[in-house]
């Protein structure tokens, strides 16, 4: 019995082309080789027209055919095609390298793949493209940049799904144009690690990693067609890529994380040793991966901060993140006052990660910088609003005495109602829980996002 086709695959196949520059009668090339089985993927911009057309522009047929076409399927569109027809499209993609591959192009990448212990021809590697449509003319000669932009926007989401859903541990990016689109699509800045040279060309190499995804090695030349690329350069590139992969140099770079307000690189005051560092993708259990993807696809947009140590207990992490999503984004006291509570708790526990993340968020939400500075210094702020003063009194009393007086409680209920009081206590308790987790794990503060200033680390809480 055939397995059910993935809903993302079905949706992608049924989506019609939006440009007249797509090869007429072609089908989306979801992958070259089986993306579900491969552990290494190479990445390009879009399939060549030669995957569907001969040199005279006629559709490939018979044994020369590489992929299914509308003509070979006997349909006018995939939008209403049967599931059996869609399976034929997927089967052709999965079996590409066992049929009639365009070896003139793919064999140029085989030495690089073999340097990391993979190959297109044994199924351990596949090729993916940011845009799944083959175009005529070729990508660089499509005259309207808006057309290229629309194709990229439409198809990049499916590629991101493939990278998250697959079992890839390494992504190899071929050429500067692909690098630019990958960085724009993911928000990641790959980090340069040197170059290799041929007789008349140089390949700049950079590395990084996707959150909950593969490590990335990229090079600036297109090994198939860039001017000056020779066999000596290809051999040097394969050697360097293999060395980077073996030495684990990719994981050493931290600045390839997606842009988000984080903070300084200062470690926790007790120690610089992270007791519970990120779990490598290839060591995650299915449950860890499942719940990590929930966080990445939610409003937080990534797995960072407390969720790195919490991943050791995935069901606890999932329960905690659902509570946290409500308290941070939907609490009855509102976003600004929730951020105010988070700062009070972070200061009380000298929790560097919480403070680094939430100080800029609190200021953006409307908390005055001088009020934030007073909390940082362990002082009662002056110039607070009436609501801030009430929240500060309530939380400071609760933290110090493990309870609140009748007078403080009554002020809070009168202003925020019982739900507001419970939500305020919930924010206080939830971020206390996260502080305890990260102080135990000694979770370090991540590097600041590009263009963002570092947040000054907290000193020990005044006694």
Residues with Cβ within 8 Å of residue 343, at least 6 apart in sequence: 355, 358, 359, 362, 367, 372, 375
pLDDT at 458: 85
- Report the C-alpha dihedral over residues 181, 184, 186, 188, rounded to 10 degrees: 110
pTM equals 0.58
Q: What is the mean pLDDT of residues 237-245?
A: 92
Of 212-226, 371-385, 389-403, 421-435, give the lowest mean pLDDT range: 212-226
Nearest residue to 214 via CA among 159, 276, 254, 167: 167
**Range(s) within the chain of domains with CATH label 1.20.1290.10:** 281-441
d(CA 229, CA 226): 6
Please name the residue that has the structure tokens 């079905």.
10
431-462 confidence digits (pLDDT tens): 999 999 999 999 988 765 544 566 788 887 65
- The partner residues of 209 in beta bridges, in order of sequence, read 215
Residues present in the chain in total: 463
d(CA 50, CA 170): 27
d(CA 218, CA 284): 25
The pLDDT confidence band at residue 269, using thresholds 50, 70 and 90, is: very low
d(CA 294, CA 284): 14
Residues 245, 251, 255, 261, CA torsion sign: positive
Please name the residue that has the structure tokens 């308290």.
327
The pLDDT confidence band at residue 32, using thresholds 50, 70 and 90, is: very high
pLDDT at 313: 96
Fold of 7-247: Uracil-DNA Glycosylase, subunit E (3.40.470)
Q: What is the mean pLDDT of residues 202-224?
A: 87
The first and second tokens of residue 425, run together, are: 């206590």
The DSSP result for 180-234, as a single string, is HHHHHHH----EEEEEEE-SS-EEEEEEEE-TTS-EEEEESS-TTTSTT--HHHH
Residue 50, CA atoms < 13 Å, CB-side half-sphere: 8
74-127 confidence digits (pLDDT tens): 999 999 899 999 999 999 999 999 999 999 999 999 999 999 999 999 999 999
Q: What is the mean pLDDT of residues 408-421?
A: 95
Average pLDDT over the chain, rounded to an integer? 87
- Report the C-alpha dihedral over residues 387, 388, 394, 399, rounded to 10 degrees: 160
Residue 283 has pLDDT above 70, yes or no: yes
Residue 59 has pLDDT above 60, yes or no: yes
Residue 424 has pLDDT above 80, yes or no: yes
pLDDT at 270: 39
The first and second tokens of residue 229, run together, are: 């690329």
Q: What is the mean pLDDT of residues 314-336?
A: 92
What is residue 345's three-state secondary structure?
helix
160-171 confidence digits (pLDDT tens): 889 888 889 999
d(CA 402, CA 429): 11
What is residue 47's three-state secondary structure?
coil
Residue 260 has pLDDT above 60, yes or no: no
Question: From residue 419, how far is each of 89, 316, 415, 425 by CA, in Å?
Answer: 54, 24, 11, 10
pLDDT at 93: 97
Q: What is the mean pLDDT of residues 233-252?
A: 80
pLDDT at 279: 82
pLDDT at 450: 44
Nearest residue to 444 via CA among 295, 264, 281, 311: 264
DSSP secondary structure letter of residue 53: B
pLDDT at 289: 87
Nearest residue to 337 via CA among 403, 382, 408, 390: 390
pLDDT at 432: 96
- The partner residues of 59 in beta bridges, in order of sequence, read 53
CB 309 within 8 A of CB 443: yes
Residue 221 has pLDDT above 60, yes or no: yes
Q: What is the mean pLDDT of residues 61-76?
A: 95
d(CA 145, CA 135): 14
301-319 confidence digits (pLDDT tens): 677 889 999 999 999 999 9
150-200 confidence digits (pLDDT tens): 999 899 989 988 988 888 999 999 999 999 999 888 878 888 888 888 766
d(CA 358, CA 346): 9
CB 329 within 8 A of CB 302: no
d(CA 224, CA 246): 25
pLDDT at 328: 84
**Range(s) within the chain of domains with CATH label 3.40.470.10:** 7-247
Burial profile 149-175: b = 16 or more Cβ within 10 angstroms, e = fewer? eebbebbbebbebbbbebebbbbbbbb
The first and second tokens of residue 52, run together, are: 């569907």
d(CA 235, CA 258): 32
Of 260-269, 349-358, 385-394, give the lowest mean pLDDT range: 260-269
pLDDT at 452: 54
The class of domain 281-441 in CATH terms is mainly alpha
Of 17-31, 58-72, 353-367, 400-414, give the lowest mean pLDDT range: 400-414
Residues with Cβ within 8 Å of residue 405, at least 6 apart in sequence: 397
């Amino acid at each position: 019995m055939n397995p059910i086709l993935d809903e993302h695959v079905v949706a992608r196949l049924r989506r019609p082309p939006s440009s007249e520059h797509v090869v007429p009668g072609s089908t989306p090339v979801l992958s070259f080789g089986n993306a579900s089985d491969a552990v290494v993927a190479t990445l390009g911009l879009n399939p060549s027209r030669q995957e569907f057309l001969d040199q005279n522009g006629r559709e490939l047929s018979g044994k020369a055919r590489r992929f299914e076409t509308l003509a070979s399927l006997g349909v006018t569109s995939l939008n209403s095609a049967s599931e059996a027809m869609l399976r034929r499209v997927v089967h052709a993609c999965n079996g590409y390298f066992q049929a009639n591959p365009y070896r003139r192009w793919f064999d140029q990448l085989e030495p690089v793949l073999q340097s990391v212990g993979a190959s297109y021809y044994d199924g351990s590697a596949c090729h993916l493209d940011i845009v799944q449509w083959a175009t005529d003319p070729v990508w660089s000669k499509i005259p309207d940049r808006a057309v290229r932009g629309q194709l990229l926007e439409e198809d990049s989401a499916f590629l991101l799904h493939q990278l998250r859903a697959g079992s890839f541990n390494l992504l190899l990016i071929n050429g500067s144009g692909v690098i630019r689109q990958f960085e724009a699509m993911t928000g990641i800045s790959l980090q340069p690690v040197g170059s290799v040279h041929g007789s008349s060309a140089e390949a700049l190499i950079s590395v990084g990693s996707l959150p909950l995804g593969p490590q990335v090695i990229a090079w600036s030349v297109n090994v198939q067609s860039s001017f000056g690329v020779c066999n000596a350069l290809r051999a040097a590139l394969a050697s360097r890529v293999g060395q980077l992969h073996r030495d684990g140099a990719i994981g050493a770079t931290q600045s390839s994380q997606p842009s988000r307000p984080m903070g300084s690189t200062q470690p926790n005051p007790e120690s610089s040793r992270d007791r519970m560092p990120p779990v490598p993708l290839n060591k995650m259990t299915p449950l860890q991966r499942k719940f990590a993807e929930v966080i990445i696809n939610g409003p937080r947009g990534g797995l960072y901060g407390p969720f790195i140590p919490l991943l050791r207990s995935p069901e606890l992490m999932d329960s905690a993140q659902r509570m946290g999503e409500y308290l941070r984004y939907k609490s009855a006291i509102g976003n600004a006052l929730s951020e105010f509570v988070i700062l009070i708790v972070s200061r009380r526990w000298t929790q560097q990660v919480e403070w680094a993340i939430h100080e800029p968020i609190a200021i953006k939400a409307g908390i005055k910088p001088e009020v934030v500075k007073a909390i940082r210094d362990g002082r009662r702020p002056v110039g607070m609003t009436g609501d801030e003063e009430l929240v500060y009194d309530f939380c400071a009393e609760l933290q110090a005495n493990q309870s609140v007086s009748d007078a403080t409680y009554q002020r809070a209920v009168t202003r925020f109602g019982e739900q507001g009081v419970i939500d305020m206590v919930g924010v206080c308790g939830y971020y206390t829980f996260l502080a305890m987790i990260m102080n135990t794990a000694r979770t370090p503060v991540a590097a600041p996002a590009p263009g963002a200033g570092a947040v000054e680390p907290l000193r020990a809480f005044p006694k």
